[in-house]
Amino acid sequence: MNIQQNLSVIQSNISEACKKKNRKPEDVKIIAVTKYVSTETAEDAVKSGVEHIGENRPEGLKEKYEVLGDDVTWHFIGSLQSRKVKEILPYVDYIHSLDRLSLAKEIDKRADRVINCFVQVNVSGEETKHGMLAEKTLSFVDNMKEFPNIRIVGLMTMAPHSEDEETLRSVFSTLKQLQNDIQSKHYEFAPCTELSMGMSNDYEIAVQEGATFVRIGTSLVGKEF
Ligand SMILES: *Cc1c(COP(=O)(O)O)cnc(C)c1O
């Protein structure tokens, strides 16, 4: 795995996608998802210029944080059990998987600072997917005013496993539309300026549709286990 080379390919693909839509490439940040690789490989990624790391398990986050520390920005991207919240809070900069009221309550209660959260939305409505349904998101975000330690920085989604470009595009553009709806409320606790969408197979489409964070594992750092 030549991470440096992978990163430069991904960066140039992102630039191309931005060019098509008159976006600035610097508005798209790359999260290296290291859940399938060792801490050593995550270190290599950081040496290659990665500034954001994403993990989907509390254990993985903790293990890698202990070596890499605050040199990078930490993203928790996996589904989060309420009883695990207190384990990850010391390490995270962003939580991408806020999807229910009970979780918001727990984060707010345990946090000693304001936590940047993405609301995870299940745009496609597939039952196997985590996240809340799109039509519930607006009222959920409104409820977040009760929680002083939660800031809704944006929305996150995972697209269905599909090769069909139009299917993917419509999922991403639905999330963008939802973001516009939330932003029009001008909530102080929910600036909602970010969109976390796009993975190894679909990040170029996601960037064309407005992603500000892409979460890339396999095609950046590979898969070791
Ligand atoms: C694993 C994972 C990714 C990265 O997936 P790749 O296809 O390997 O790029 C992105 N987001 C979430 C939530 C994940 O769990």
Q: SS3 for 15-48, per residue?
A: HHHHHHCCCCHHHCEEEEECCCCCHHHHHHHHHC
Mutation probe of ligand 1 site: the residue of 37, 77, 95, 157 with most atoms within 8 A of C-beta: 77
SS3 of residue 3 by DSSP = helix
Q: Return all residues near 183 (Cβ < 8 A) that are at least 6 apart.
A: 191, 192, 193
pTM of the model: 0.98
Query: Rounded to 5 degrees, what angle do the CA atoms 89, 90, 91 make?
Result: 90
Q: What gap in Å lies between CA 204 and CA 113, rounded to an integer?
A: 34
Residues of the chain where predicted confidence (pLDDT) is lower than 50:
none
Domain assignment of residue 197, given as a range: 3-221
57-62: long-range pairs with CB below 8 Å, 24+: 58/84, 58/87, 58/88, 60/34, 60/35, 61/88, 61/91, 61/92, 62/87, 62/88, 62/91
Q: What gap in Å lies between CA 35 and CA 90, rounded to an integer?
A: 19
Cα–Cα nearest to 212, from 78, 51, 31, 2: 31
Instruction: Give the per-residue pLDDT at 127.
Output: 83
DSSP symbol at 186: T
Q: What gap in Å lies between CA 216 and CA 205, rounded to an integer?
A: 13
Instruction: Give the per-residue pLDDT at 19.
Output: 98
Which tens digit of pLDDT belongs to each residue from 6-52?
999 999 999 999 999 999 999 999 999 999 999 999 999 999 999 99
Decide: 217 in ligand 1 pocket, CB within 6 A: yes
Three-state SS string across 192-208, please?
CCEEECCCCCCHHHHHH
SS3 of residue 224 by DSSP = coil
Structure tokens at 219: 């095609």
Domain count, the chain: 1
Single-letter amino acid code for the residue at 205: I
Instruction: Give the per-residue pLDDT at 79.
Output: 95
Decide: 56 in ligand 1 pocket, CB within 6 A: yes
Instruction: Give the per-residue pLDDT at 122.
Output: 97
Mutation probe of ligand 1 site: the residue of 33, 195, 201 with most atoms within 8 A of C-beta: 33
Instruction: Give the per-residue pLDDT at 162.
Output: 87
Cα–Cα nearest to 209, from 79, 17, 10, 7: 17
Q: How many angstroms is it from 184 CA to the middle of ligand 1? A: 30
In this structure, the number of other CB atoms found within 10 A of the CB of residue 221 comes to: 26
Instruction: Give the per-residue pLDDT at 220.
Output: 98
Domain of 202: which CATH number? 3.20.20.10
Instruction: Give the per-residue pLDDT at 163.
Output: 87
Instruction: Give the per-residue pLDDT at 1.
Output: 78
